């Protein structure tokens, strides 16, 4: 199958300028610098990858204006190599998976469920009593949607997603496989008389607003009462834990394996990097950022960038780390002083 | 739909005393302080939320005796606002989901499986050969129960739970969606001759005792031989990892995203906070507590409260942290001393 | 049911030497030292368990030559107690689960899927259009295999595994329950004009090579373009997160709850212990090792053993920790010096 694309035609497609030879080579795909071979286009946007760019076997590489003259390989100069690459990638992308229209004959759909226009319900999916699915909702194979759940227009559940009873999803939400929405919160009262933990019934639900995306195997527990709330446009990665009655403000980003304890509230545009842990009942201000693997146990002001185990500003955290790394030197200096002072001034023998 | 409840009737229901105006307002639900609106009751039990209480739009708020006179909003004074709130919440709780009795026609049940009275097996569930389900067991949609597994009376598997072959669950156990019970342990022998990891067959099983609860997407691996054991009344949160041959003593609590390595043994009433990691082959004594994000690599005495990366008592851990935070000051003091001593006593120039 | 095995016959089976009494006792199973009872064999290989060995109720215990004379219980002396135990365990192992041959009538298999000889497709599994399954592939109950995925000979998906479209699995791969292969990578462009995160389409796939094993509820995201790659013989534990475009070299080991950020490349025979976090775009050299709960944010040389939050050699890391634990003493020494120097040499009062 001959490709209709050449380096030249792709440069024209993204409004780029050609530099170097071989601009009429046929192009059949895209790839990263290291993986790309002849017939593929790649892109360079980070000096960290300069060696990879020089060694790349790609037929052409997209570069920014400032890098135009540093290289000799065939290059397409554009303002944003990343954006141009995305545009070119679309030309070679495999066709998206076509969702089978309608309800697969093996799906189990309650008679009173309300199904919008243009929905797709996959094999072995289960839609319980009282569920409402908006127009163009896609429910993947083997998903479970519990009683009276409401799912907005254009929302997509990939295969094997669980949405428990009475949860509410907005429009264009994406839930990746293995996500569990609305499991019971983790709450018990301890009964001293019997020495047993007594389960607290969680009668609340989870509400996920428009355009949010929830990663694979992430869990979002239902509220004890009221709701656990994921705001509009929030993006949550895989294997994240969101406890009962948490509220995540609009457009926040939560990276993989982070955990948020019960009733903590995040403002808008908060960023939690990977493997962060937040204690319960905290408030994180708008646009605050917590760096990877940090542990936060007090409120965070708007705009703060905190790091480490104790919610201190990243600058201070880096300084303390540097000092910890200098401890061997500091101990030597202390010892030298002791020898000097104690030898000079007394008969006490210095400690080592 | 008019509610039969008023602030006054609810106060009577929980044996509380009314203070403030508006005690005849109709009440239609409950909510937390910040989310509550007119027509809803909330509760105040933590001074951290005093501002929320004052700003709350709830029609009435449950407060304890010591807070009775601090506020002016409509309040119901009770000994335990939390307990009273739970009691009132029940009046407004949605009816619990009714489990469909019997075996759904799409479920696949092995002919020799033994099914107790009053069971409910959901759509597309799979019950393998030799399985025994006790009375009133509930198996959710799309669950898998492997060969010869035994599930005790009243135990509930929410949708999309996996229980592998020969695992044994007691009575009234709850498994949340996505939990995987009895996957192979992570064990290999390294074959130097071929440079390959050779899988160790895990022929054991998992045993979960009465009244335990296992969170969403938590994994509990089967024993290499013998069992991985979860004791009576143990409560495990979401996304927890329990490795092969671990034993968790009765009534222990394990919070989200914690991991326990192979063959470690926990006593009774142990508490592991979130994101804790335990090395393998350890023993944790009864009623020991490990704080969030700690890493433990040696045995823990009964009753100990340990923190941080190296299993030290919480008090010592907090002291060390405080000292690390004082490092900048300590370095300044060291430098001042050096200047003094070395300038006074010699010609050596002080380091900076 | 009387057992055909005795302590004596088992000793002969593993070529061991008998010491102690009771060598004609019937043996009906194996177990660990603490759980074993009469009629069972156990093994001792770690001095940590000496007390357990002495207290064990096992009818016989396998021990190494150097431990032969330390104990008085019935023992079978062998070069490798662990290997001998594995050999004896096989005699008592339950028969492996027999995979039902063919396609279960409730499975949904696309008409154009290509099914190799001797496959087993379980109840309610879904095999999408264009899928190719090699000979003897086993697809468990309620699994989903997306369009055009390719699964090599002898590969096994335990129940409730998700493999998204176009992913490629080699031969003899094992995927445990709840694993999600090929969910979209976590990537967004931020649109300043609208203040929204715009999803980056991930058109790549995941490739898992021969003999790899992937744990329960682990997630491996598809590449943005090109592939996320798991090399031959790689073993990944439960609840691990592998982000888009990561490459894991052959025979690497990744322990539970570890996370690897996008585009990071691991060499061959790398070991990541539990709860490790790796930043994105890193290179880890062959045979490097990262200890549990470490955070790595720069490249790692081949063969390095790094620990802690900042990728420092384990030896240095342990030294720094020891110094942090000595901080109280160091502060006392500093204070003593200050008192001495400042009292002797000036009128300034020492800080406390």
Q: Best of A107, A125, A162, A165 to disrupt the B interface by mutation (most B CBs within 10 Å)?
A: A162
Instruction: State the pLDDT at residue C350.
Output: 41
Nearest-CB residue to B238 (from A196, A241, A312): A241
Pick from C269, C292, C327: CB nearest B323? C327
pLDDT digits (tens, 9 = 90+) for B184-243: 999 998 999 999 999 988 889 999 999 999 999 999 999 988 899 999 999 999 999 999
Tell if the CB–CB gap between C324 and A327 is shorter than 8 Å: yes
pLDDT in tens, B87-146: 898 898 888 888 999 999 999 999 999 999 999 999 999 999 999 999 999 999 999 999
**Residue C93: what are its φ and ψ, rounded to 5°?**
-65, 140
Residue of C108, C124, C216, C253 to mutate for B, most B C-beta atoms under 10 A: C216
Angstrom distance (rounded) from CA B181 to CA C31:
20
- Cβ B309 vs Cβ B295: under 8 Å: yes
Q: Which residues of A are catalytic?
A: 244
Report CA torsion sign: C314, C317, C323, C326.
negative
Contact B241, B219 (CB under 8 A): yes
Sequence-separated (6 or more) residues with CB below 8 Å from residue B156: B137, B138, B140, B173, B174, B175
As a whole number, the mean pLDDT across chain A is 92
Would you state the structure tokens that stand for residue C171, as one six-digit string? 């031969």
**Residues of chain C with pLDDT > 90: what percent?**
75
- pLDDT tier, C2 (very low <50, low <70, confident <90, very high otherwise): low
Q: How confident is the model at residue C337 (pLDDT cuts 50, 70, 90)?
A: confident
* Cα Rg of chain B, angstroms: 28
pLDDT, mean over chain C: 92
Q: What is the pLDDT of residue B48?
A: 83
pLDDT of residue C213: 98
- pLDDT greater than 50 at residue C348: no
Annotate chain A with three-state secondary structure. CCCCCEHHHHHHHCCCEEECCCCCCECCEECCCCCCCCCEEEECCCHHHHHHHHHCCCCEEEECHHHCCCCCCCEEECCCHHHHHHHHHHHHCCCCCCCCCEECCCCEECCCCEECCCCEECCCCEECCCCEECCCCEECCCCEECCCCEECCCCEECCCCEECCCCEECCCCEECCCCEEEECCCCEEEECCCCEEEECCCCCEEEECCCCEECCCCEEECCCCCEEEECCCCEECCCCEECCCCEECCCCEECCCCEECCCCEECCCCEECCCCEECCCCEECCCCEECCCCEECCCECCCCEEECCCCEEHHHHHHHHHHHHCHHHHHHHHHHHHHHHHHHHCCCCCCC
Confidence class of residue A330 from pLDDT cuts 50, 70 and 90? confident
Q: Which chains are within 8 Å of B by 3+ CB pairs?
A: A, C
Closest CA to A145 of C63, A122, C241: A122
Query: C80 and C64 in contact (C-beta within 8 Å)?
Result: yes
Q: Is the dihedral of CA C266, C268, C273, C274 positive or negative?
A: positive
- C195 with A251: Cβ contact below 8 A: yes
Which residue in B103, A233, B349, B230 sits closest to C195, CA to CA?
Answer: A233
Residues of chain B in contact with residue A326, where contact means CB-CB under 8 angstroms, are 331
Chain A nearest C-alpha distance from B202 (Å): 25
Instruction: Provide, as residue numbers in chain B, all residues whose Cβ is less than 8 Å from the Cβ of A166.
Output: 94
A137 vs C203, residue with greater confidence: A137
Among A25, A13, A16, A4, smallest CA distance to A44 is for A16
Question: pLDDT for A16-56, tens place per residue?
Answer: 999 999 899 999 999 889 889 999 999 998 888 899 999 99
pLDDT of residue A214: 98
Measure CB to CB from residue A274 to each of C178, C277, C324 and give the nearest one.
C277
Q: Is C244 a catalytic residue?
A: yes
Alpha-carbon distance B202 to nearest alpha carbon in chain C (angstroms): 9
Is there a contact between A142 and B140 if contact means CB atoms under 8 Å apart?
no
Task: Provide the pLDDT for residue A126.
Answer: 98
Is the Cβ pair A257, C257 closer than 8 Å? yes
Start-to-end CA distance of chain A, whole Å, equals: 77
CA distance A289 to C160: 36
Lowest mean pLDDT among A33-37, A306-310, B330-334: A306-310
pLDDT tens track for B1-27: 467 899 999 999 999 999 999 899 999
Q: Which residues of C127-141 are buried (b: 16+ CB within 10 A; e: fewer)?
A: bbbbbbbbebbbbbb
Beta bridge partner(s), residue B25: none
- The neighbours of chain C, by the rule of 3 or more Cβ pairs under 8 Å, are A, B
Which of B259, B306, B312 should one mutate to test binding to chain C, selecting the residue with the greatest count of C CBs within 10 A? B259
What residue in A sits closest to C106 (Cα-Cα)? A106
Looking at beta carbons, which residues of chain B come within 8 Å of A126? 122-124, 141-142, 159
pLDDT at A309 over 80: no
pLDDT tens for C205-262 read 999 999 999 999 999 999 988 899 999 999 999 999 999 999 999 999 999 999 999 9
Q: Compute the distance between CA of residue A85 and CA of residue A94 in angstroms, rounded to an integer.
A: 16
User: Is A216 within 8 Å of C126 when comparing Cβ atoms?
Assistant: no
**Are the C-beta atoms of residues B109 and B121 closer than 8 Å to each other?**
yes
Residues of B in contact with A239 (CB under 8 A): 217, 239
pLDDT band at C315 (very low <50, low <70, confident <90, very high): confident
Quote ipTM for the complex: 0.89
The residue ranking higher by pLDDT, A137 or B337, is: A137
Q: Taking a C-beta distance cutoff of 8 angstroms, is the pair C239, C221 a contact?
A: no
Q: Which tens digit of pLDDT belongs to each residue from A177-202?
A: 999 999 999 999 899 999 999 998 89
For C339, the enclosing helix (H) or strand (E) is helix C327-345
Taking residue A130's Cβ as centre, other Cβ atoms within 10 Å add up to: 16
Nearest CA-CA distance, residue C56 and chain A, Å: 31
CA distance C40 to C220: 41
The answer to whether the CB atoms of A197 and B233 lie below 8 A apart is yes
Q: Cβ contact (<8 Å) for B176 and A180?
A: yes
Q: Under an 8 A CB cutoff, do B259 and C274 touch? A: yes
Distance CA C303, CA C292 (A): 17
The helix (run of H) or strand (run of E) holding residue B339 is helix B327-345
Nearest CA distance, C217 vs chain A (angstrom): 7
Which pLDDT band holds residue B255 (cuts at 50, 70, 90)? very high
| Active-site pick, C5, C202, C244, C251 | C244
Is the pLDDT higher at C322 or at A152? A152
What is the DSSP pairing of strand C253-254 with strand B196-199?
Answer: unpaired
Cα–Cα nearest to C65, from C91, C90, C44:
C44
Confidence of residue B147 (pLDDT cuts 50, 70, 90): very high
Contacts of B73 (CB under 8 A, 6+ apart): B20, B53, B54, B56, B58, B60, B61
Confidence of residue A350 (pLDDT cuts 50, 70, 90): very low
Measured distance CA(A30)–CA(C187) in Å, rounded: 18
| Residue C52 neighbours by CB under 8 Å, 6+ apart | C33, C34
At residue A236, φ and ψ (nearest 5 deg) are -120, 130
Q: In the predicted model, is pLDDT for residue B346 greater than 80?
A: no
Whether the Cβ atoms of residue B25 and residue B39 lie closer than 8 Å to each other: yes
Least Cα separation, residue C338 to chain B (angstroms): 7
- Residue matched to tokens 């620990």: C307
Chain B residues lying within 8 Å of C35, measured CB to CB? 226-227
Percentage of chain A with pLDDT > 70?
Answer: 96
Contact B183 C177 (CB under 8 A): yes
B184 with C176: Cβ contact below 8 A: yes
Question: Does the distance separating the beta carbons of A199 and B32 come in below 8 Å?
Answer: no
Angle subtended by helix axes C327-345 and B327-345, to nearest 10: 40
| A82 to chain C: closest CA residue | C189
Cα–Cα distance for residue pair A218/A236, rounded to 1 Å: 8
CA–CA distance, C284 with C302 (Å, rounded to integer): 7
Burial of C228 (0-12, 13-18, 19+ CB in 10 A): buried
Partners of B330 on chain C (C-beta within 8 Å) are 330-331, 334
- Tell me which of A148-162, A317-331, C59-73 is least confident: A317-331
Instruction: Give A122's contacts in chain C (Cβ within 8 Å).
Output: 126
* Interface contact C216-B334, CB threshold 8 A: no
Token pair 């296992």 in the structure block, residue: B214
pLDDT at A344: 58
């Amino acid at each position: 199958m001959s490709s209709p694309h050449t380096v030249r035609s792709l440069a024209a497609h993204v409004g780029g300028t050609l530099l170097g030879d071989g601009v009429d080579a046929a192009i059949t795909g895209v790839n990263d610098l290291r993986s790309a071979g002849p017939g593929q286009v790649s892109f360079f946007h980070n000096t960290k990858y300069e060696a990879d760019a020089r060694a790349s076997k790609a037929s052409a590489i997209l570069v920014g204006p400032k890098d135009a003259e540093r290289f000799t390989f065939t290059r397409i100069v554009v303002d944003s190599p990343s954006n141009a690459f995305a545009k070119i990638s679309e030309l070679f992308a495999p066709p998206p998976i076509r969702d089978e229209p309608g309800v697969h004959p093996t799906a189990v759909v309650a008679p009173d469920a309300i199904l919008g226009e243009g929905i797709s319900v996959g094999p072995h999916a289960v839609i319980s009593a009282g569920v409402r699915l908006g127009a163009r909702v896609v429910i993947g194979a083997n998903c479970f949607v519990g009683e009276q759940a409401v799912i907005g227009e254009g929302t997509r559940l990939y295969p094997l997603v669980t949405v428990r009873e009475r949860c509410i999803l907005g429009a264009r939400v994406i839930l990746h496989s293995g996500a569990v929405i609305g499991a019971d919160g983790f709450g018990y009262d301890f009964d001293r008389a019997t020495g047993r933990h007594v389960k607290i019934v969680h009668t609340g639900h989870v509400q996920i607003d428009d355009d949010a995306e929830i990663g694979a195997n992430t869990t979002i527990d239902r509220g004890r009462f009221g709701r656990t709330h994921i705001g509009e446009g929030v993006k949550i990665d895989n294997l994240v834990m969101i406890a009962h009655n948490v509220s995540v403000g609009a457009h926040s980003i939560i990276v993989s394996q982070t955990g948020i304890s019960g009733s903590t509230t995040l403002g808008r545009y908060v960023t939690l990097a990977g493997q962060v842990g937040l204690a319960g009942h905290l408030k994180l201000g708008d646009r605050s950022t917590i760096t990877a693997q940090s542990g936060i146990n007090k409120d965070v002001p708007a705009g703060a960038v905190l790091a480490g185990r104790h919610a201190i500003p990243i600058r201070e955290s880096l300084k303390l780390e540097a000092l910890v790394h200098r401890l061997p030197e500091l101990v030597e200096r202390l010892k030298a002083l002791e020898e000097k002072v104690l030898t000079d001034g007394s008969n006490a023998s210095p400690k080592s």
